[in-house]
Every structure is written in structure tokens, then in C-alpha cells.
Amino acid sequence: MKMLKTFKHYISVSLACIRMAFLTIVEYPSSIIGWLISNPIQFVVGFATIQFVVQQFGEINGWNYGQLAVLYGLSVISHALSMIFFVQGWFMGHYVIEGEFDRFLTRPMSVLYQFFFAQINIFGITDLIPGIFVFVYGCYKIHFHWTVINALCVLGMLIGATLIRGGIYILLGTTSFFTRSANDFGQYTQEIFDKTTMYPISMYPESLQFILTYVIPIGWVSFYPVSGLLGIGTEAAKLPGIVGLTIVIGILVMIVAGAFFKFGLRSYESAGN
């Protein structure tokens, strides 16, 4: 009973936060319009240039450009979702240096919850649009069959992918509890994710593929689930097992990240004297 009450409380706080996030759009319309132009250009033009090349060569490691569009699109969508919910992980160093965690610690809610969900980054939506656009284009090119199972698989892999991304942001951000530096790893993290989730990782050397599969599970953000979905490559597991595995890995990364965050929070010493 108490748990249910807590849960309800968290839900109502979340809804209030989402409402606040939307209100910020109304407050800064010019700013969001700028990003609404900027981010789609980045991703759509970015994909278009890749497509020109792949079209000429026919395929890259067994992926034609339609399949590549599905991979690229899903990668951008999960990127957008992780931007909406977990982008704070990029700026954790700043929060540690400025002593901003004091605010969260004094409130009667989980610090991790407050840090990520009480400040939803609504601007992430500007990344969602180009992602959906490229994904739909890819589906159209490869004549993707929209069955209920396929739709659920896409949804499942997006959840898994977002959790993996978010977990890695938290893990990286948490290091600033120990290093106490305000360095922002955001753009570096994004560059790595871009290069490893928007292209098939089978184009990299095997050692790198091994790392991306077992050590830092970035391969599971898009490459393995999309391979399963489109039936590319033989040794990879088939649907729906591979989607299940993606979600499991996502949850595992999140659990590790959450534990590490709690551990890191212990050495938080606020700012000043």
C-alpha cells in the first residue's frame, strides 16, 4: 500500500515536470525554432551524404542504403530519447562543482530520479523528428512489413537502446564525483555513439567489435537489434530473442549505472566551505 502511494506520488511529480518542460517551449520559442531547424539538418543531410556513397557502391558490409536508413533512423531516435531523459549525465561535473546536488539531497525523493526526471530536456524532441523521418524513409525503401510483432520489436529495442545510452551517460557523469572536474564529455560521447550506432559496426576490426559487444555494449544500441529485425548477418540471434536481449542489457547497464551513482554520491561534498 505504501509502495503504491509512493509510486503514485512519483507519477504525479513526473507529470508536473513534463508540464513544466512544455511550458519552457512557450517561454523561449525563438530558441526552440533554431534547434528545430538545426538538428534535423544535421541528421538528414548527414544521412543523405552517406546514402550518396553507399548507393554508388551498392552496399556496405552487406547493408544496402535502405537498411542503413533504418539503422541510422533508429539510432537517431534512441539518441533523441536519451537526450530527453538522460542528458543531465553530460553535465554532472558542473552540478558537482557548483554544489547543485544539495538541492536534490534535501528533498524526500530519490536523488537519481530527481536528477534525471525532474528536469526533462524537451529540446530533445528536435532530434526525434529527423530520426523518425530517416527511419520511415528506410522502412519505405526496404518495404518493411508492419506487423504487430515487428512494431513491438521496434518499440522494445528503442527502450533497450535508450536505457543503454542513458546508463552510459550516468556512468560517465558519475566519474565527476571522484575527479571533481567540470569537464563536459557530452560532445565526445555523442561522437563515439554516432560513429558506432549509425553505421554497421561490422565494418570495424574484430577487436573493436568485441569491445563494442561485450565490454561497452554500444553494439546493442542499434547494430544487433536492427540486424535481427532485418535479418542481416547469419550468426546473430533472431527475433524476438535479440530484442529481449537488448532490453535485458539496457536494464543491466542501468542497474550498474544506478549503483555506481549511489556509490559516487557518497563522496559528494557539496561546494564551498
Closer residue to another protein in complex, CB, 116/185: 185
In the list 6, 38, 267, 270, the residue contacting another protein (rule: CB under 8 A) is 38
Q: Does 237 bind another protein (CB under 8 A)?
A: no
Residues 120-159 that bind another protein (CB under 8 A): none
- Min CB(35)–another protein separation in Å: 5
Q: Judged by CB, which is closer to another protein: 197, or 246?
A: 197
**Residue 207 binds another protein (CB under 8 A):** no
Long-range contacts of 268-273, Cβ-Cβ distance < 8 Å, separation of 24 or more: 268/96, 268/101, 268/105, 268/177, 270/99, 270/101, 270/102, 271/97, 271/98, 271/99, 272/99
Axis crossing angle, helix 65-86 with helix 148-179, rounded to the nearest 10: 50
CA distances from 38 to 41, 148, 263 (A): 5, 34, 38
CA triple 7-10-185, angle to 5 deg: 125
For another protein, the binding residue among 56, 106, 147, 207 (CB under 8 A) is: 56
CB 173 within 8 Å of CB 88: yes
Does the footprint of another protein cover residue 58 (CB under 8 A)?
yes
Residue from the set 12, 61, 267, 270 that interacts with another protein by CB under 8 A: 61
Instruction: Determine which residue in the list 13, 129, 192, 271 makes contact with another protein, applying CB under 8 A.
Output: 192
Pick from 230, 45, 14: which is nearest to 117 by CA? 14
Which of 69, 204, 219 is closest to 140 using CA atoms?
69
**Residue 57 beta carbon to another protein: minimum distance, rounded to whole angstroms:** 5
**Separation CA 57–CA 52 (nearest Å):** 9
CB of 34 to another protein, least distance (A): 3
Instruction: Supply the minimum distance, in Å, between the C-beta of residue 265 and another protein.
Output: 24
Q: Does 45 bind another protein (CB under 8 A)?
A: yes
**Nearest distance, CB of residue 175 and another protein, angstroms:** 14
The DSSP result for 171-208, as a single string, is HHHHHHHHH------HHHHHHHHHHHHSS-GGGS-HHH
* Choice from 16, 18, 37, 152 touching another protein (CB under 8 A): 37
Residue from 13, 17, 50, 122 that binds another protein (CB under 8 A)? 50
Of the candidates 204, 40, 26, 265, which has an alpha carbon nearest to the alpha carbon of residue 132?
Answer: 40
Which residues of this chain interact with another protein, rule CB under 8 A?
A: 30-31, 34-35, 37-38, 41-42, 45-46, 49-50, 52-54, 56-61, 181, 183, 187-188, 191-192, 195-196, 199, 202-205
